[in-house]
Structure 1
Amino acid sequence: MDLRAIGMGLAFAVMWSSAFTSTHIIVAEAPPLAALSVRFLISGAIGVALALAFGQSWKLSRAQWRATIIFGLCQNALYLGFNWVAMTKVEASVAAIIASTMPLIVGALGWIVFRDRIPPLGMAGLVAGFGGVAIIMGARLQGGVDPVGLALCVAGALALAVATLTVRGASGGGGGVLMIVGLQMLVGAASLAVVSLLTEHLSVAVTPKLALAFTYTVLVPGLMATWVWFRLVGRIGAVRAATFHFLTPVFGVAIAALVLGEKLDWHDALGVAVIAGGILAVQISKQEARR
């Protein structure tokens, strides 16, 4: 892995992790599902427009349409929808920690459901990762973290893990990466808009703080991070690129502490370190298994 790839991976991890902090600011001042739907509408429209400008087509294969719809619903509507609602009840650092366990959940479900072979290092990583979550959440529950918000975060991570396993191997056909990403966002926007109209009171006062956080979320974690991620995958491959996800809990907790002033204690530091180490071990074991 060269220095440019490392720089891209670090940039992606910082941008992706910062979304939890900017989201926490948004949902404090706006209905979460309505705000998320608008975010996806804007990001999806930009993505599709750019894809068409680059000559990409929305004539996708059946497998690509299946993946687009499943990911649009599970990743954008369920995963992020649950997380945005959860962050009206829990701190951004809690959401970042739970979301970071998605690679661990994918590994565990793949082993249980699909009988995937996991090397000893990967199995140790799974145990360590979930152990780190137990360290943090045990202390947080004693400290009064909202159990409903926590359950919503877990449900979101499970939805994304199931979607990842469901569509794995779906490739081929027409279209292009940017077109598929844009269409996934539009699927999420449409489904979230329906739920928002049925469940939320659509009243919001646009403040400079809200406008800045929303613009940042659309442009940086929404578009720039996605673009950097696919460039990184094209440069070093999906398995090696996924190694950088071990930094999500580290940067997510740190950014929330710096920007929002969320308090951390030794349980958080220890748990984050153990989770990060577990994710790294799982990803390294995947690389070794493919050699």
Structure 2
Amino acid sequence: MRFGWQVFALGLAFCTLWSSAFTVGKFAVQVAPPLTFLAIRFGIAFLVMWAVLTVMKRGLPKDRKDLWTAIWLGILNNAAYLGLCFIAFRTTSSSMVALIASLMPLVTAALAWPVLGEGLTLRKIAGLVLGTAGAWYILWNRLGGDLQVDDPFGFGIATIGMICLACGTVLYKKRGAHADPLAMNAVQALSASVVLIPTAFLLEDVTAITFGWTFIWTQAYTAIIMTFGALLLWFALIRQAGAAAASTFHFLNPGIAMLIAWLALNETITVPDVTGLIPVAVGILMVNWPSGKKKAQAIA
């Protein structure tokens, strides 16, 4: 596979932006209850995307099947996945949550076999085993080893959130890949906000927000920069490299997320972390590496 410098630059920029969201989330939960913060974030994101769609003279999905797909994607990808991850930020390091989220391509590959009929090749099976082994090694050291630097409860709910994201990814591949991505994202943001608002009122003190610079910049970063920046970078990467090849860049996410957390939050990076990241990254790369017809399409 041949990648030009533009593809590498786009892939690195996308992975850095995606990985930075975990550190930003750690800042966010220091100034607002997690579900309350996300309800506001997705409300803002919907209004911005709806305004952009209006200016571009495009609307929300008209097809009822696409509409319901987008609603369920919002519940799975935004409300459940991010909601549980943000709750985990309260007791768990951002690098741990990022590692768990980075395992999503492995779980997606496993789910795509029975749901989408996508075959599990020997390379994909080897990647699943290798990535799982590396993740297990890191988790054992962080949760039950000598260091025990992370909280098992946070690990558990972040894992459930990651599985929700994998289910949402499979749903999108099965029912939503043909639809207007901006319109689908707008509905996702709205449905997530609608679900999170009553949940936040039920489970949290929604008045416990520390309004100030941290709240403003974390909201702006997550609601606008992540929503549009990540989306635009991802589409640009797909145009340059193809969807199958673009997905191989996900293998960089665990390491970049840990590095950002170390720089911004002074979170600990241990030798077992680095040792375990190697098989995790290689496993994700093996699972997502395009082959055969997909590979040819990715290079074209």
Task: Report the TM-score when normalising by structure 1.
Answer: 0.93
Q: 1:102-113, aligned counterparts within 5 Å?
A: 102-111=104-113
Determine the C-alpha separation between the residues in 1 that align with 2:10 and 2:48: 22
Determine the C-alpha separation between the residues in 2 that align with 1:48 and 1:211: 21
Letter aligned with residue 57 of structure 2: G
> Aligned pair 1:140/2:145, yes or no?
no
CA deviation string 1:57-78 (max 9, x = no partner): 2243233213201111000000
Verify the 8 A CA contact 2:79 2:192 in the aligned structure 1: yes
The match for 2:76 among 51, 56, 74 is 74
Verify the 8 A CA contact 1:15 1:225 in the aligned structure 2: yes
SS in 2 for 1:118: coil
Determine the C-alpha separation between the residues in 2 that align with 1:217 and 1:15: 10
Determine the C-alpha separation between the residues in 1 that align with 2:56 and 2:293: 36
**Identity rate of aligned residues, in percent?**
31
Paired residue for 1:160?
165
Higher mean C-alpha deviation, range 138-147 or range 249-258: 138-147
Paired residue for 2:204?
200
Determine the C-alpha separation between the residues in 2 that align with 1:172 and 1:127: 28
Return the offset for 1:112: 5.1
Letter aligned with residue 158 of structure 1: I
Letter aligned with residue 66 of structure 2: Q
Paired residue for 1:180?
184
Paired residue for 1:46?
48
SS in 1 for 2:120: coil
Higher mean C-alpha deviation, range 104-113 or range 120-129: 104-113
RMSD, aligned CA: 1.9
Q: 1:220-259, aligned counterparts within 5 Å?
A: 220-259=225-264
> Aligned pair 1:170/2:175, yes or no?
yes
Paired residue for 2:118?
116
Paired residue for 1:96?
98
Return the offset for 1:172: 7.8
Determine the C-alpha separation between the residues in 1 that align with 2:52 and 2:170: 29
Q: How many residues align?
A: 289
Letter aligned with residue 77 of structure 1: A
Paired residue for 1:210?
215
Verify the 8 A CA contact 2:85 2:157 in the aligned structure 1: yes
Verify the 8 A CA contact 2:80 2:164 in the aligned structure 1: yes
Determine the C-alpha separation between the residues in 2 that align with 1:283 and 1:172: 17
Determine the C-alpha separation between the residues in 1 that align with 2:60 and 2:112: 31
Return the offset for 1:171: 4.7
Letter aligned with residue 169 of structure 2: T
